[in-house]
Structures are given as structure tokens and as C-alpha cells.
Amino acid sequence: MIRVAIVGQGLVALHFEVGLEKLKHNLISDYGVPLRNLLPYKYSDIEVVAAYDVDESKVGKTIYELAKRYYDAPGEIPGTLKDIVVRRGIHLNSLKGLPFKARGREEEEGYENAVWSIIDEWKSLGVDIVVNVMTTEPVEPVGSLQELHERFKAGDLTASQTYAYMTALYSSKYKNAAFINVIPSPIANDPAYIEFFKESRGVVFGDDGATGATPLTADLLEHMYERNRKVIDIAQFNIGGNTDFLSLNLPERNIMKKITKSAMVSDILGYEAPNYIRPTGYLEPLGDKKFVAMIIEYYSFGEYKDELYIVWRVNDSPALAGLLVDLVRLGKIALDRQQYGTVYEVNAFYMKKPGPHGSKIISKYRAYQQLLQWVGIKDPRY
């Protein structure tokens, strides 16, 4: 069994929870789960045991109730989701500036009690994996382990940093655990966290799940490199209508995405190419199905200038939810193998900014081959 706790009961979490239950009952296919049924852990081995949020409209509701309200797909919502009630997490101002009424456990119990009461819940639930899908927040890496300990004690970390710290603490005291960070906060890219997870016999994967245009762009850049097509520039727009895009509209949160997305250009091409790659706007009627447009201009033989155009509508949250079905199983495999700290081969395929800090971003095609090798499975086609 793989027991999962979710941090951030938003759309991605909902698609993961509903999708997983449907998958277990053979109500949907497993399209969008890259490693499908090739892993030793089956879909039925995964169990979501807790979910945390700070939005007053979500805390205390069951996942089933939230799915009725926000899950937009045909078919029944699995009744098993009535058993999971959203618990209050720690807020630490992560929703500041956004139009939601939020209250954290620390406001009721004090910071230290809040932290330890959540860790106690994980202990009694036997949590193996904590998945971080909360709202993007501005975060700087901490750097040194000593400073990390001091800032945790003082309550001077952001919410996602605090949940990551709590997971390492829990892992060192009670049960080996993994923290899967699919938001842009630098956790797997922060040397202090890698060290702490190693010491705590835990695992951290991250950062920032690669779902929409980023992995596609990475593979297109690989194509350009392999054919020696000289990229002149890349322009990429992303416009969406979900609350993720709403929060990314705040400039200090948007910068987090820009950092994680544009590092790949020089890493894959081997040279800089002028680019504009980032979420560009919020348009509510688009909902969760975001609009992506991209142009890559390049020189071919004879210095002729070609242009590649992409126009795309992508269901945003389900794409990341599909990756999570792999990531929680891979987290458990890394724990079983005692590969503490982080695993680059996992991060390189699933993340926009693969940790540890300083790692190269490679195309997803190349990363897939390395991932299969790490897992120890053969590509079933060959």
C-alpha cells in the first residue's frame, strides 16, 4: 500500500483523486500515465488518506462534495471519496492577495502545535508520500541546512517549504517518506532540503511538474539540435482560466514560472536563443482548458528561415494528475531502494526544473530512456 497525503486540495488534487478511483474501478483508461502498468506497484496500491487546504470553502468538505462542485466530466463521482474530509493545513500567508478566505491551523493552535499536530496525523495514518499541489508562491532557496533548521524553528519559511520540512522531520522520526513537489518552489533544487532528506532517510522529487507546453518545447528543441537547425527565437503564450492562472497573474508569482521554464532553452540547444516562455494571462471562460500558442523560428540549410507554429488547447489539471499516478509509485520505489535525497532520473522526466540544483534540463525523449533504465524496465515496444 502507498498512503498519500495531499497538500492543496485544488483542481490538480481533485483530478488525481477522482481519476485514481476511476482507474482502480476500471471506469477510465490510463491514458496520460506515462509508465502505465509497467511498475511493480499497481494503481490499486495507491490510497489517498488525507488532504489539506486552508481555503474556508474547502476545509471540512469531503472530496466527494468538492468533486460534485468542481469536477467537470461525465460519469459518476466514486462514492469512496466521501471518506476523505479536507483537513486544515498551515497557511503562512500563502494565499495572500488572492480572492479566497483562508485560515491556517497555526491561527488556531499556534505555529508549533499546528506543525506537530499535522505530523501526528501523518503518523497515525501511516503516510508514505506527501504530494505538494498548493498554490504557487514566491520562494527563494534556503541554501544551508543550519539556516533551514533555524528558519523552521522561527516559522520563517513559506508554506510549501514548511510542508517539505515537516515531511523530512516525519521521515526521520516515524516512517520513511517522500515529498513530491510539483509546484515551482525550489525544494529539490535547494541543497539544504536535499541534505535534510538524505539525513532523514526520505526522498524529495521536484520541482514543478512538466505537463503542457514545456515538455513539448523540450522535445522540439531536441529535434532542432539533432538536425542542426539553428533556433532564432521562441515565443510561447499560455492563457488559462483556472485559479492557477489567476494566481500566476500576480507578478511575484509569475516570475517563479518564468525561472523554471526558460532554463531549458540553453540546456538543450547548447546556446542561448531569445525567448518568451511563460503563462501570459488569465481569461476565466477558458476554464481549465488552457490555450497555448508557440512559434519557433529557425535557420535550415542555406540559411533559409523556417517557422514552426503550434496552436493547442490542453486540459491543464488532468495532465499533472496523470503524472502524479506515476510519481507517487516512483516515490515509494525510491524509498524501498533506500535511495534517499533525490533521484535525477525521475525529476528529469517529470519536472520542469529537475533537482538537484545545477542539474541539466534534457529533452523528455532522452529523460524517458534514462527513467526506464533507473526503474529497470524495458520499453515494451522494442
* 6 lies in the site for ligand NAD, by CB under 6 A: no
Q: Is 63 helix (H, G, I), strand (E, B) or coil?
A: helix
Nearer to ligand NAD, 12 or 333 (CB): 12
Least spacing, CB of residue 243 vs ligand NAD, in Å: 4
Burial 144-176 (b: 16+ CB within 10 A, else e): ebeebeebbeeeebbbbbbbbbbbbbbbbeebb
Least spacing, CB of residue 308 vs ligand NAD, in Å: 23
Q: Which residue is nearest to ligand NAD (CB)?
A: 10
Q: What separation in angstroms does the CA of 361 have from each of 13, 219, 224?
A: 26, 11, 15
Least spacing, CB of residue 378 vs ligand NAD, in Å: 29
Nearer to ligand NAD, 221 or 320 (CB): 320
The Cα 264–Cα 129 span in angstroms is: 28
The Cα 241–Cα 286 span in angstroms is: 5
Q: Which stretch binds ligand NAD (CB under 6 A): 74-82, 111-119, 188-196, 206-214?
A: 206-214
Among 192, 319, 333, 367, binds ligand NAD (CB under 6 A): 319
Vertex 362, ends 359 and 367: CA angle to 5°?
A: 105
- Helices (DSSP H) in 126-231: which residue ranges? 145-153, 159-173, 191-199, 213-226
Nearer to ligand NAD, 32 or 191 (CB): 32
* 327 lies in the site for ligand NAD, by CB under 6 A: no
Cell of 188: 529539490
* 54 lies in the site for ligand NAD, by CB under 6 A: yes
* 8 lies in the site for ligand NAD, by CB under 6 A: yes
* 189 lies in the site for ligand NAD, by CB under 6 A: no
* 208 lies in the site for ligand NAD, by CB under 6 A: yes
Identify the CA nearest to 131 among candidates 53, 37, 72: 53
- 275-282 and 230-240 strand pairing: parallel
Least spacing, CB of residue 137 vs ligand NAD, in Å: 7
Among 171, 181, 236, 242, binds ligand NAD (CB under 6 A): 242
Identify the CA nearest to 118 among candidates 157, 152, 169: 169
Mask 73-112, x = binds ligand NAD (CB under 6 A)?
----------------xxx--xx----x------------
Nearer to ligand NAD, 315 or 339 (CB): 315
* 354 lies in the site for ligand NAD, by CB under 6 A: no
Hey, what's the torsion of the CAs at 139, 250, 264, 333, to 10 degrees? 50
* 181 lies in the site for ligand NAD, by CB under 6 A: no
Nearer to ligand NAD, 305 or 313 (CB): 313
Treating both helix axes as pointing N-terminal to C-terminal, what angle do 213-226 and 251-269 enclose, rounded to 10 degrees? Answer: 20
Among 3, 4, 5, 10, binds ligand NAD (CB under 6 A): 10
> At residue 126, what is the residue type?
G
Q: Is 109 helix (H, G, I), strand (E, B) or coil?
A: helix
* 21 lies in the site for ligand NAD, by CB under 6 A: no
Among 136, 181, 238, 363, binds ligand NAD (CB under 6 A): 136
Cell of 88: 486544515
Among 17, 55, 190, 207, binds ligand NAD (CB under 6 A): 55
Least spacing, CB of residue 245 vs ligand NAD, in Å: 8
Least spacing, CB of residue 374 vs ligand NAD, in Å: 22
Query: Residue written as cell 511498475?
Result: 39
The Cα 236–Cα 24 span in angstroms is: 37
By rule CB under 6 A, what count of residues binds ligand NAD? 36
Q: What separation in angstroms does the CA of 215 have from each of 23, 73, 94, 211, 249?
A: 24, 25, 27, 6, 22
- Footprint of ligand NAD on this chain (CB under 6 A)? 7-13, 52-55, 58, 89-91, 94-95, 100, 133-136, 159, 182-183, 208-209, 211-212, 242-244, 316-317, 319-320
